[in-house]
């Protein structure tokens, strides 16, 4: 806050004096109305105050997204908006379970979300786990509360108490393991040297995961995909994101391409088609494919075209990532190969 005042007022900043009560009120207003500033790849790089944008309300199914191009914030529609319809953005990470989002909104912004998604929490795809019964393809909903007394599978009906308790124990242990792995990886994270690298992805930073943590993470992922989680479950979304970062840092680009594809497919079941997170993954898939299969011009052209179509809506044609995708597509149009 002191830095913000100094930047805004310059030499006059030293003349500003505020009573403790006023300073606390100002800090609270800043906390509630500030907006995370991110780069085109949605990596947070700072915090800013944009009075007009702060007027927008939250929705867990937003029709708009804020995209930054340097210090300029642009509000972009990511779905069709009817005349008279309220424009809304999301205040937090929409890959989190409904129960988690509700808690965060109440704690940080002091309101209860009553959007259509939150009102139908029992249908939240981010809380879906596979039915523990053999030969059953159904799923059940488990949020943050692992003390639930009953649950119903969409295919076979109510789950027996003993079976449910065993499943909840597995989920609890699994979530603890995931937290431990995240801490291990983030605690040993190092900045990737992009300047001297031929890595085509160019994120701001990549994780160099310690081998034990990476091994545990892979085992966790196998458990999630084979026994535990629905593809859109928050736990699996988080694990894929961590594994994707680790695969990129180890330059395992073919495996990273597969992981990015799985993540993009899952997010398309949660977000609207033109959500910026989907667009970023689309461009990443093109870059990975260009590195792995440079001779497959037809494939690259299709991936680049998809990235351009998504980025033009989510980011805008003048934004850096979209310009990059357009240039790639234009370059491919001059090459031979199947279209």
**How do residues 309-326 score in pLDDT, each as one tens digit?**
999 999 999 999 999 999
What is the maximal distance between C-alpha atoms in the chain? 72
pLDDT in tens, 182-233: 777 666 443 333 233 333 333 333 345 556 777 777 888 888 887 899 999 9
Q: Give me the phi and psi of 273, to 5 degrees please.
A: -55, -40
In whole angstroms, how large is the CA radius of gyration of the chain?
A: 22
What pLDDT shows up at residue 91? 93
pTM above 0.85, yes or no: no
- Stretch 8-29: mean pLDDT, rounded? 70
Which pLDDT band holds residue 166 (cuts at 50, 70, 90)? very high
Q: What are phi and psi of 312, to 5 degrees?
A: -60, -35
Helix (H) or strand (E) holding 57: strand 57-58
Per-chain mean pLDDT for the chain: 85
**What sign does the dihedral 233-203-41-38 (CA atoms) show?**
positive
Secondary structure (3-state) at 9: helix
- Residue 43: pLDDT band (50, 70, 90) is confident
pLDDT in the model for residue 15: 65
The Cα 249–Cα 243 span in angstroms is 10
Domains and CATH numbers, the chain: 2-116 (2.170.270.10), 146-333 (1.25.40.10)
Query: Which range in 162-171, 231-240, 308-317 is most confidently predicted, on average pLDDT?
Result: 308-317
Instruction: Round to whole Å and give the CA distance between 208 and 144.
Output: 30
Task: Report pLDDT digits (tens) over 112-127.
Answer: 999 888 988 888 999 9
């Amino acid at each position: 806050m002191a830095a913000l005042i100094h930047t805004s007022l310059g030499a006059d900043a030293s003349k500003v004096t505020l009573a403790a009560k006023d300073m606390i009120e100002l800090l609270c207003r800043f906390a509630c109305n500030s907006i995370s500033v991110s780069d085109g790849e949605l990596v947070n790089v700072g915090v800013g105050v944009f009075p007009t944008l702060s007027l927008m309300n939250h929705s867990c199914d937003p029709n708009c997204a804020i995209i930054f191009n340097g210090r300029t914030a642009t509000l972009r529609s990511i779905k069709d908006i009817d005349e008279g319809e309220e424009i809304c953005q999301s205040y937090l990470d929409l890959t989190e379970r409904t129960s988690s989002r509700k808690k965060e909104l109440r704690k940080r912004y002091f309101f209860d979300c009553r959007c259509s998604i939150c009102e139908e929490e029992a249908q939240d795809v981010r809380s879906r786990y596979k039915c523990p019964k053999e030969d059953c393809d159904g799923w059940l909903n488990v949020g943050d509360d692992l003390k639930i007394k009953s649950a119903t599978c969409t295919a076979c009906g109510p789950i027996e108490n003993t079976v449910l308790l065993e499943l909840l124990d597995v989920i609890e242990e699994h979530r603890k393991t995931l937290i431990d792995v995240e801490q291990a990886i983030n605690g040993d994270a190092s900045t990737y040297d992009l300047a001297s690298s031929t890595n085509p992805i160019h994120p701001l930073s990549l994780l160099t995961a310690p081998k034990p943590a990476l091994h545990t993470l892979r085992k966790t992922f196998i458990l999630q995909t084979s026994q535990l989680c629905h593809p859109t479950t928050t736990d699996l979304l988080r694990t894929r994101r961590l594994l994707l970062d680790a695969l990129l840092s180890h330059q395992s680009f073919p495996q990273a391409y597969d992981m990015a594809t799985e993540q993009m497919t899952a997010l398309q079941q949660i977000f609207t088609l033109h959500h910026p997170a989907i667009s970023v993954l689309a461009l990443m898939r093109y870059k990975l494919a260009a590195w792995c299969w440079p001779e497959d011009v037809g494939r690259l052209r299709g991936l680049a075209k998809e990235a351009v179509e998504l980025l033009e809506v989510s980011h805008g044609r003048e934004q850096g990532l979209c310009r990059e995708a357009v240039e790639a597509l234009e370059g491919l149009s001059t090459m031979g190969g199947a279209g």
